[in-house]
Amino acid sequence: MDRPAVALVLVSHSRALAEGAAELAGQMAPDVLLLPAGGTDDGRLGTGFDVVSGAIEQAVSEGRSAVLLTDLGSALLTAESVLEMADADVVARVRLADAPFVEGAVAAAVAAQDGAALEDVADAARAAALTFGGAARHPDAPAGAGEGGETSGWAAREPGAAGEQTGTPGAAGSPGALRTQAAGVAAGGRPMAPAQTAEPRHAPDAHVATGMGPEAGADRSGATGGGGTGMPTARGTAVLRNRFGLHARPAAHLARTAAAFRSAIEVNGVDVRSVLSLVSLGAVGGTHLVVTATGADAPTAVRAIVAELEEGFGEA
């Protein structure tokens, strides 16, 4: 395939750190141009103007845009200095993302791999700061949630986020929806809500329930599909077959699969298109997972996600 139109530049005080972050993100987004810009011009710890400038120049070549992530304050200052000296055409195609260095790189890389636009890739990086803030056990979660191979699926979510469609159409966790989520949390909104509970495994094809509206999507946990919109809904269950669990590589694989569909898709209450949200579930091998979708291609989407979970991502 053609290389995605948005590249990433990872500016760090350490060359090894920048290269490591780029290597990790590259496992999730093999087609994205990831450029480490670590260390000084002579190889010491620090940030070098020429190192950063060269990486940005390469990133925006061939008509690409670029998102920059930095590890510490002085790295940000160096990046800003480079952009102050750059041509207006370059500056217009670059975004500095105030985001966690590693998690932001992974989230942005996956968004770029899926063909997201520049602003959405930058927003995906910024939203990564929220993902693991909601991954810890919620104080109102049932006792023992997340223990003994079970997964509670508590994660930072905000009512109304699923309604904004930016980036991937209909995606509850699309970058635009994450902007809404971030604004709600910052304004003192409810930061967490319980996800759907898991149920025992059934044969994937036999346990994909479909319908229209909330009644058709209702499950035993009380969650409903469709939200009263009258959109097609579907629901299925699967057992996570790979022994290493839902770590970054299979999570990224699921996110890329979900990108092919228009429906909003969730696994245990978190958006399938968000690698970090999937990883935050802490799902280990043998965990029972609930897949739900709302949208025109919901049944097909659920079957595809259930099938991948059951196949084990080559690690079963």
From 153, 178, 162, select the one nearest 269 (Cα to Cα).
Answer: 153
Distance CA 35, CA 43 (A): 16
* CA 174 and chain centroid, separation: 8
From 255, 257, 271, select the one nearest 300 (Cα to Cα).
Answer: 257
From 4, 71, 77, select the one nearest 34 (Cα to Cα).
Answer: 4
Instruction: Based on the residue annotation, tell me whether 207 is a catalytic residue of this protein.
Output: no
Residues with Cβ within 8 Å of residue 253, at least 6 apart in sequence: 308, 313
Q: Is residue 179 within 8 Å of 304, Cβ to Cβ?
A: no
Q: Is residue 275 within 8 Å of 255, Cβ to Cβ?
A: yes
**Residue 158 is encoded by which pair of tokens?**
């905000």
Catalytic residue among 13, 138, 202, 207: 13
Distance CA 316, CA 101 (A): 31
Distance CA 129, CA 164 (A): 20
Distance CA 16, CA 39 (A): 8
Distance CA 239, CA 241 (A): 6
Residues with Cβ within 8 Å of residue 159, at least 6 apart in sequence: 184, 189, 190, 193
Alpha helices for the chain (secondary structure H): 15-28, 49-59, 73-85, 88-92, 101-113, 118-131, 175-186, 213-217, 248-258, 275-280, 298-311
Catalytic residues: 13
